Amino acid sequence: MGNEASYQTELCNHFDQEEIRRLGKSFRKLDLDKSGSLSIEEFMRLPELQQNPLVGRVIDIFDTDGNGEVDFHEFIVGTSQFSVKGDEEQKLRFAFRIYDMDNDGFISNGELFQVLKMMVGNNLKDWQLQQLVDKSILVLDKDGDGRISFEEFSDVVKTMEIHKKLVVFVEHGQEDLNA
């Protein structure tokens, strides 16, 4: 994992050295196979994540090299987006990326359907979900291009103050990832 103390200046200014040390300890606890990276199965050991249908998407976003696992560097960069010191736009961009599955800078009808399907499971029939997606696109798509841009997404999501909910606390004396 390297020298954890160097990560503060190297990666972000959202965590202090003590917070990075604690995150390193939590990371090592989750890394059951001691591979230096976390698989989805290792992430799923956290009870808080077991019922979250979007964990796979979050891991995809954290996994910047696309190898299917999250190393410590990716873990720190990923979790820094949820720091109380993180800015609103960074948190909104993270939320946007949950839906922008192909990373083209837009949320398409199909992407919105896929992510909402992850969230609702079989609680809605596909045709009902598609109606919801179509109506959402009609309402949110201000420029009429049939997709949702980051700006269109932000205009709606900012009013919900979602950035205030996307926060991880790295408490002093707490060694687990109970955010």
Per-residue pLDDT tens for 10-41?
A: 455 678 888 889 889 999 999 999 999 999 99
Total tally of structural domains belonging to the chain: 2
Last residue of one domain, picked from the residues 34, 56, 81 = 81
Model confidence band, residue 9 (pLDDT cutoffs 50, 70, 90): very low
77 in any annotated domain:
yes
Distance, CA of 177 to CA of 55 (rounded, Å): 15
Q: Across all residues in the chain, what is the average pLDDT?
A: 83
Nearest to 76 by CA among 32, 38, 23: 23
pTM: predicted TM-score of the whole model, two decimal places: 0.78
173 in any annotated domain:
no
138 in any annotated domain:
yes
Instruction: Read off the CATH number of the domain in which 126 is found.
Output: 1.10.238.10
State whether the Cα torsion 134-139-145-148 is positive or negative: negative
- Which structural domain range is residue 114 located in? 88-165
Kindly state whether residues 161 and 93 are assigned to the same domain: yes
